[in-house]
Amino acid sequence: MKFSQRLAYYLLGLLIGGMFLYYFLDAKDTRFCYLPNCRVLKELRSKPLHFTKEAEENMNTFTIDDIKKSLTYGDVDFSKSNVSKGNGKLYIIEGKDQNMKDITIYMVNYSDKVVLEKVEYTKK
């Protein structure tokens, strides 16, 4: 068998295998998070969300969609985050609200829940 035939068979098999994986993994809504930012945000999204009194007062200014969007597309500030706070760890997420203004979200990640401490506009 010539090299060109072997290459054609290899590429055909690779294409069929890639389509097979894409179809089955897409059906499960599987996402691969290897980077630290993605892993932290995925963990924060997967747990039930609770609010402090200060955060409930801020909900007049910010919507829950702002928080969900920031937990999907935001950036974790690791230089200020991962600080122990009680039995959990504090994470500071920088995102944007519906008006595309910068916001900062302070969340504490416990083993069974996530507590939203406060949301504020980013000071520059």
In order along its 124 residues, the chain shows pLDDT tens digits of 899 999 999 999 999 999 988 887 776 666 677 899 999 999 999 999 999 998 888 788 888 888 889 998 999 999 988 888 889 999 999 999 888 889 999 999 999 999 999 888 887 6
pLDDT of residue 40: 92
Beta bridge partners of 51: 116
Token digits of residue 18 = 């890639």
CATH of domain 33-121: 3.30.2310
Say what the pTM is: 0.73
pLDDT of res. 23: 81
- DSSP secondary structure letter of residue 43: H
Q: Among candidates 71, 123, 70, which has minimal Cα distance to 97?
A: 70
